[in-house]
């Protein structure tokens, strides 16, 4: 059974934390990699996404969030993602799922693909 995902909740949490902990804006996903090889933006995306999906078990939330991250990384550049982040930051009170689908279909497609 498919669980309705709040795309905006996933987006909000992920975008708020994608650059946290860096001395400046990260330039790519792999920046400040840890021992596992995951960059700070990747870790922040997954952590924030999991927090936004706290109604799921930790394992299911991690699986969902890592899937979304993988889909985003395979269908968009990091710069594309930064444009999404900037759009959300500048228009947070006006962001809608349909607007995101129009402007950033690779993100909404990633969430739809993984939300099964």
Q: Domain range holding 108?
A: 7-19+36-114
- Indicate the pTM of the whole model: 0.80
Annotate 35-46 with b (16+ C-beta within 10 A) or e (fewer): eeebbbbbbbbb
Examine residue 26 and state whether it is found in any structural domain, yes or no. no
Per-residue pLDDT reduced to its tens digit, 63-72: 999 999 999 9
pLDDT at residue 96 is higher than 90? no
**50: closest CA among 37, 60, 40, 38?**
60
The number of distinct structural domains making up the chain is 1
Q: What percent of the chain has pLDDT over 70?
A: 78
Examine residue 1 and state whether it is found in any structural domain, yes or no. no
- Write down the pLDDT at residue 1: 41
What number of other Cβ atoms are within 10 A of residue 88's Cβ? Answer: 19
Q: What is the mean pLDDT of residues 15-44?
A: 77
DSSP 3-state of 93:
helix
Contact status, residue 12 vs residue 88, Cβ threshold 8 Å: yes
């Amino acid at each position: 059974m498919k669980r309705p995902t709040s795309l905006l909740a996933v987006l909000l949490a992920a975008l708020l934390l994608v650059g946290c902990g860096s001395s400046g804006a990260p330039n790519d996903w792999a920046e400040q990699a840890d021992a596992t090889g995951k960059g700070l933006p990747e870790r922040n995306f997954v952590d924030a996404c999991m927090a936004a999906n706290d109604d799921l078990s930790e394992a299911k939330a991690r699986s969902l969030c890592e899937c979304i991250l993988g889909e985003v990384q395979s269908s968009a550049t990091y710069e594309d993602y930064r444009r999404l982040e900037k759009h959300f930051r500048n228009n947070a009170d006006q962001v809608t799922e349909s607007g995101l689908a129009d402007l950033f279909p690779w993100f909404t497609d990633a969430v739809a693909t993984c939300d099964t």
